[in-house]
Amino acid sequence: MKYHILFDCDPGIDDAVAFALAGAHPEVFVMDGVTTVAGNQTSERVTGNALKLIAFLGIDAPVARGAAGPLLREIIPAGDIHGSTGLGNCVLPETDRTVVPEFAPEFMCRKIRELPRGERMVLVPTGPLTNIALLLKAFPDCREKIDRIVLMGGSMSGGNITVSAEFNIWEDPEAAAIVFESGIPIVMCGLDVTMQCGFRREQVRQLLRDESEVARAYGEMMNFYFETTVYEKQEKIAIHDAVTFMYLLHPEIFSGREMHVQIDCSEGLNRGMTVCDTRVWSDAKPNALVLLQADSDKFEEYLLEAIHSYR
């Protein structure tokens, strides 16, 4: 099966790994476009990273620059986790590729409208949901040609930026609320499942020693995680964003529950919380498949195969 994909991202180390996974499978993913949103780093940096990544990996896809900040709030980048450039200690080659002269939501709309009759788009957002919310509000006719939204964000059991909230949703909860209330099928790849999916220290060291330029570059990116306060004492890092494409490739290694998810847009303790209704007697209509379990060994195996496919 082939998927038409619009990849909305804020690279970001784990976004970069998601690029490698998607790019290793052109037989599955038709990358109709890449759009960027400020999140892990500023708009300028994440857009530059996206252009360098597609050039480095040989991915043929146009890039459109999107929102420079949340709908209503100030941007608070995650430089402590992804480094000053957004890609840890890795320095990718410069590229002469440039962005298309369209704002990301307009670009996404055009790509969706240009789909052949009977084809539908899969949106894969791995950053704040600002661009997706703008698309849905400004161009509501596009909804009928969106097959589903497979996003990295949220959590049923607790956050990483606060005790209650995951970073992407917390960064722009108003945008997330628009997306979750859109009626479009959603697969939520939140912290419950993404924390199970990653690499161990020795696997990252092996990438650093690899003969492949691509493998070494990804080793340099991911090794930065182990230098941060989040992972300095951990034996395994989470590669959150790659779960989205892995789910599309291998849904059989994941399990979850259909449930109703609401977004807390308050300014209180639970800002950005994805409130998942787990009550079996609830009459709230499910609006998302919330992934909860993953086969970690298979995730590692398939992701390493993808990285090693670049020779």
Distance from C-alpha of 245 to C-alpha of 152, rounded to nearest angstrom: 10
Digit-coded pLDDT (tens) for 217-243? 999 999 999 988 888 888 999 999 999
Per-residue confidence (pLDDT) for residue 295, from 0 to 100: 98
Q: Report which residue type is found at 57.
A: L
**Rounded to two decimals, what is the model's pTM?**
0.97
Give the mean pLDDT of the chain.
Answer: 95
Per-residue confidence (pLDDT) for residue 1, from 0 to 100: 81
Residue 81 has pLDDT above 90, yes or no: no
Structure tokens at 235: 């034996």
Per-residue confidence (pLDDT) for residue 233, from 0 to 100: 85
Residue 114 has pLDDT above 90, yes or no: yes
Digit-coded pLDDT (tens) for 156-204? 999 999 999 999 999 999 999 999 999 999 999 999 999 999 999 999 9
Averaged over 56-72, what is the pLDDT? 97
Residue 31 has pLDDT above 80, yes or no: yes
Of 138, 136, 241, the closest CA to residue 179 belongs to 136
How many CB atoms are located within 10 Å of the residue 220 CB?
Answer: 19
Per-residue confidence (pLDDT) for residue 229, from 0 to 100: 84
Per-residue confidence (pLDDT) for residue 261, from 0 to 100: 98
Per-residue confidence (pLDDT) for residue 281, from 0 to 100: 93
- Output the 3-class SS for the chain: CCEEEEEEECCCHHHHHHHHHHHCCCCCEEEEEEEECCCCCCHHHHHHHHHHHHHHHCCCCCEEECCCCCCCCCCCCCHHHHCCCCCCCCCCCCCCCCCCCCCHHHHHHHHHHCCCCCCCEEEEECCCCHHHHHHHHHCHHHHHHEEEEEEECCCCCCCCCCCCCCHHHHHCHHHHHHHHCCCCCEEEECHHHHCCCEEEHHHHHHHHCCCCHHHHHHHHHHHHHCCCCCCCCCCEEECCCHHHHHHHHCHHHEEEEEEEEEECCCCCCCCCCEEEECCCCCCCCCCEEEEEEECHHHHHHHHHHHHHCCC
Averaged over 47-54, what is the pLDDT? 97
Residue 79 has pLDDT above 70, yes or no: no
Averaged over 123-151, what is the pLDDT? 98
For residue 76, what pLDDT band results from cuts at 50, 70 and 90?
A: confident
For residue 73, what pLDDT band results from cuts at 50, 70 and 90?
A: confident
Confirm if 255 and 292 have CB atoms less than 8 A apart.
Answer: yes
How many CB atoms are located within 10 Å of the residue 102 CB?
Answer: 18
Per-residue confidence (pLDDT) for residue 33, from 0 to 100: 98
Active-site residues, by number, are 240
Residue 84 has pLDDT above 80, yes or no: no
Least confident segment among 78-82, 136-140, 184-188 = 78-82
Per-residue confidence (pLDDT) for residue 89, from 0 to 100: 86
For residue 256, what pLDDT band results from cuts at 50, 70 and 90?
A: very high
Residue 83 has pLDDT above 80, yes or no: no
Q: Which strands sit side by side in the sheet containing 186-189, from one edge to the other?
A: 63-65, 29-36, 3-9, 121-125, 146-152, 186-189, 288-294, 254-263, 274-277
Per-residue confidence (pLDDT) for residue 283, from 0 to 100: 93
